[in-house]
Amino acid sequence: MGPTEWLTMPDVAERIGIPVNRVHQLVRERKLLAVRQDGVLRVPADFISDDGVVKHLPGVLTVLHDAGYNDDEALRWLYTPDDTLPGTPAAALRGNRATEVKRRAQALGF
């Protein structure tokens, strides 16, 4: 399982009203996750809200990176269904279960 909708970097920039070079900076700073598909960097649409990057995503990405996850592994973890959430961690970040997602990500490092 994975994202159902992907956005290119210009799409992300347009959606949240920032320059595309700022979107690239967010990816470099690990505040946003992008993966290359067919030579094009893409961001899961689930990671973008009306206000910008989904609120708790940068913290979860930092925790996953600190636990040794690369971008592909972090993406896989975020989109692996978990019946105890229920749903995926990516979906839970958009709801009221973001703290639980962060707690579970922190547990991966130990």
Predicted confidence at residue 50, as pLDDT, reads: 83
Q: How confident is the model over 26-35, as pLDDT tens digits?
A: 999 999 999 9
Give the separation between CA 64 and CA 106, rounded to whole angstroms: 7
Q: Does the structure show a pLDDT above 70 at 23?
A: yes
Angle, alpha carbons 34-70-84 (nearest 5°): 90
Predicted confidence at residue 10, as pLDDT, reads: 97
Q: Does the structure show a pLDDT above 90 at 110?
A: no
- Look up the pTM and report it: 0.90
How many CB atoms are closer than 10 A to CB 43? 24
User: Position 14: which residue type?
Assistant: E
Predicted confidence at residue 86, as pLDDT, reads: 84
Q: How confident is the model over 40-95, as pLDDT tens digits?
A: 999 999 999 988 999 999 999 999 999 999 999 999 999 999 888 889 999 999 88
Phi, psi dihedral angles at 98 (to 5 degrees)? -60, -40
> Residue 5 class from Cβ within 10 Å (0-12 exposed, 13-18 middle, 19+ buried)?
exposed
Predicted confidence at residue 18, as pLDDT, reads: 96
Nearest residue to 61 (alpha-carbon basis) of 95, 84, 34, 23 = 34
